[in-house]
Amino acid sequence: MARTTESDLAPHELRVLVATADTGGFSAAAETLGLTQSAVSHSVRGSERKIGAVLFERGRTGARPTPAGEKAVAHARHILRLLDVLTAEARGAARPDAAEGPLRIAAFRSAALHLLPPVLQRLRARHPTIEPRVRIVREVGRGTVGEVADGKADIGIATLGGSAPLPPGLVASALFEEPYALVHAPGHAVPRSLPLVDWAENCGSYTRDWWAAQDWIPKATVEAEDDGAVLSLVSAGHGMAIMPALSLAGGPTSIRITDLGPNRPTRQVGYVTTSELAGSAVVRALVRELRATVPQSVSLLSGEVDQVERVTRR
């Protein structure tokens, strides 16, 4: 039988590390965990001694993870989550298709608004004991992939195909290709001559080459907070935008959508999870519903876009 060593961290020590990082201080972590401030401080010092590295910078405003601490906390989140999955799946071992407990999902805004609702509806109908928890994350920087890598999400709905490699331990799978289109208010004979409205999450590495090759696209004169604000500005006649299909779902009726042609840019939408959680019952259940629902959602979305394109061409 394997024996623990003095350098092993116990689950309660991992929870202290995570709580300290999440709350930003020993006192707040103590309140969250129902411990004393001195107990939390003592636990963190013990973990630092076992690991052999300073995990938190102490200051008057609280405690902030060092680079070593960020790595330790991310691993702690993953380990604690696997312990939860171990318990849930051991309980359901007699029921191979059973899936229960929390399922933490990170998604960018348009995916959370237009892709996830029918998926979650099917998931709840088939697996009422699963508890989905959705976190909407801006798809800039590390985006939803970073949420999974840091142990804050079990699965992330992400844009794939960028130049940055996946962090170690993560696996990804594509769901569909999402096309971009030109969006503008009606009544403009040459919509491409309008000013450009854009937002930070648009035009990632998957469209950058195409974007750079288009000499008709001006520099953005309006930078909006998100794709919803872009659509609002465009529909009011303040400019045109180049947007992915998910952002156009359920858009205002006062916009027109023009196809960008056979060489139009696309982005790949898929999911990212960890190699360990990929085989868990809750993640597998969500992936099944994603793959069953996405073709229908994309087909409906394409129908809406085609209808608007026909109106545009009259």
| Averaged pLDDT, 135-154 | 93
Residues 6+ apart with CB under 8 A from 85: 101, 277, 280, 282
pLDDT of residue 306: 43
Reference 293, options 94, 134, 157; nearest CA is 157
Residue 240 amino acid letter: M
Q: Tell me the C-alpha distance between 51 and 106, whole Å.
A: 30
* CB neighbour class for 312 (10 Å; exposed up to 12, middle 13-18, buried from 19): middle
Q: What are phi and psi of 242, to 5 degrees?
A: -115, 115
pLDDT of residue 249: 84
Per the CB < 8 A criterion, the answer to whether 144 and 137 are in contact is yes
Q: Is the pLDDT of residue 312 over 60?
A: no
Task: Please give the angle made by the CA atoms of 198, 158 and 241, to the nearest 5 degrees.
Answer: 15
| Averaged pLDDT, 286-292 | 94
Helix, strand, coil content of the chain in percent (nearest 5): 45, 20, 30
> Residue 305 to residues 20, 28, 248: CA-CA distances in angstroms?
48, 49, 8
pLDDT of residue 54: 97
The pLDDT tens digits of the residues spanning 38-96 come to 999 999 999 999 999 999 999 988 999 999 999 999 999 999 999 999 888 887 766 66
Q: Is the pLDDT of residue 308 over 50?
A: no
| Averaged pLDDT, 6-15 | 88
Q: Tell me the C-alpha distance between 155 and 172, whole Å.
A: 10
pLDDT of residue 291: 93
| Averaged pLDDT, 283-311 | 66
pLDDT of residue 203: 64
| Averaged pLDDT, 27-44 | 96
pLDDT of residue 31: 95
* CB neighbour class for 42 (10 Å; exposed up to 12, middle 13-18, buried from 19): middle
pLDDT of residue 304: 46
Reference 76, options 40, 22, 35, 130; nearest CA is 22
Reference 176, options 306, 296, 304; nearest CA is 296
pLDDT of residue 14: 97
Per the CB < 8 A criterion, the answer to whether 264 and 217 are in contact is no
User: Strand locations in 225-293, DSSP E?
Assistant: 241-244, 256-259, 266-274
- In the chain, the N- to C-terminal Cα span, in Å, equals 76
Per the CB < 8 A criterion, the answer to whether 241 and 257 are in contact is no
Q: Tell me the C-alpha distance between 219 and 195, whole Å.
A: 8
Beta partners for residue 177, in sequence order:
268
Residue the block writes with tokens 């697996």: 127
pLDDT of residue 151: 95
Reference 153, options 136, 141, 130; nearest CA is 136
pLDDT of residue 295: 63
Question: Looking at 4-8, 45-49, 129-133, 292-296, which range is the least confident one?
Answer: 4-8
Check residues 16 and 220 and name the one with the higher pLDDT.
Answer: 16
pTM attached to this predicted model: 0.85
Q: Is the pLDDT of residue 126 over 80?
A: yes
| Averaged pLDDT, 98-105 | 89
Q: Is the pLDDT of residue 16 over 70?
A: yes
pLDDT of residue 307: 41
Task: Please give the angle made by the CA atoms of 26, 18 and 40, to the nearest 5 degrees.
Answer: 30
Q: pLDDT band at residue 311, thresholds of 50, 70 and 90?
A: very low
Q: pLDDT band at residue 202, thresholds of 50, 70 and 90?
A: confident
pLDDT of residue 143: 92
Please give the mean pLDDT across all residues of the chain. Answer: 86
Q: pLDDT band at residue 22, thresholds of 50, 70 and 90?
A: very high
The pLDDT tens digits of the residues spanning 159-184 come to 987 767 889 999 999 999 888 999 98
| Whole-number percent of the chain with pLDDT over 90 | 52
